[in-house]
């Protein structure tokens, strides 16, 4: 019997990076240098025009009543708390929160700047939000200019630096917006035109570490087993006969 071995062999093709090997090594070196300086794995990329228009609208000053806590908000939160109170005990809720928290080991924060660039950096959920502000202070081109971070929608400024990312709800990832905070509107418009990040950080724009090429791996062929020969059928008559004692045998 002829067995076609090709049906049992599967080869992994080599994956080639779309960029030259030297370019990939240079990109990798940039990532390593930035990580050694800032202690984080960073990525920088450009966002679309739609995101820019959204950011521009969000940067506009809102009326004071925009941030007011309405009666509808109060009753909605109260109803949620009542439901949780009667369905679960405090100990059960705390156990669920602890179990959920232990499963999340990383949160990815994307900081969007008014010049359409986004900085991506990862933190542990238990780290304080202050660590994000400290990191940005080392990366921005004008560290002397005060800045704020906020989420949207609705626009909500991040003010409590002592909170960790988990408690602030910035898990497993979040998009926050950066804006310089000058008291004068004209000055604020001037400093919010960019560039915002140091040239060393901006050099990571569009770069990505390519995976190492994988050598082809030949799978072990499956063993071919030969079926045993069928048993020889016996004559049913011969099987049913009783053994006969020969006449010459005397007991």
User: pLDDT tens for residues 198-251?
Assistant: 999 999 998 875 444 444 445 555 666 666 666 666 655 555 556 666 666 665
Better-scored residue on pLDDT, 228 or 164: 164
Q: pLDDT tens digits for 44-63?
A: 999 875 444 444 434 444 44
Q: Hey, how many other C-beta atoms are within 10 angstroms of the C-beta on 180?
A: 22
Alpha-carbon torsion 138, 140, 145, 150, what sign?
Answer: negative
Q: How far apart are CA 6 and CA 100, in angstroms?
A: 48
136 by Cβ neighbours in 10 Å (0-12 / 13-18 / 19+) ranks as buried
Q: Which percentage of the chain shows pLDDT scores above 70?
A: 59
Alpha-carbon torsion 243, 246, 249, 250, what sign?
Answer: positive
């Amino acid at each position: 019997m002829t067995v076609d071995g090709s049906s049992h062999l599967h080869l992994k093709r080599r994956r080639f990076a779309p960029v030259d090997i030297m370019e990939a090594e240079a990109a990798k070196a940039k990532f390593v240098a930035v990580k050694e300086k800032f202690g984080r794995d960073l990525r920088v990329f450009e966002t679309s025009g739609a995101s820019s228009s959204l950011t521009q609208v969000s940067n506009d000053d809102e009326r004071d009543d925009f941030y007011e806590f309405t009666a509808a908000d109060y009753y909605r939160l109260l109803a949620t708390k009542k439901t949780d109170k009667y369905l679960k005990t405090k100990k059960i809720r705390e156990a669920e929160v602890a179990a959920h928290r232990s499963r999340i080991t990383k949160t990815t924060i994307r900081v969007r700047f008014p010049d359409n660039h986004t900085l991506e950096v990862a933190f542990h959920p238990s780290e304080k939000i202050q660590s994000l502000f400290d990191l940005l202070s080392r990366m921005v081109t004008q560290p002397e200019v005060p800045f704020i971070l906020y989420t949207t929608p609705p626009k909500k400024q991040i003010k409590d630096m002592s909170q960790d990312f988990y408690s602030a709800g910035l898990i497993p990832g979040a998009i926050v917006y950066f804006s310089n905070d000058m008291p004068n509107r004209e000055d604020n418009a001037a400093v919010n035109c960019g560039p915002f990040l140091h040239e060393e950080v901006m050099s990571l724009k569009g770069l990505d570490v390519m995976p190492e090429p994988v050598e082809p791996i030949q799978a072990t062929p499956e063993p071919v087993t030969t079926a045993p020969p069928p048993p020889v059928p016996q004559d049913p008559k011969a099987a049913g006969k009783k053994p006969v004692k020969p006449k010459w045998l005397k007991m």
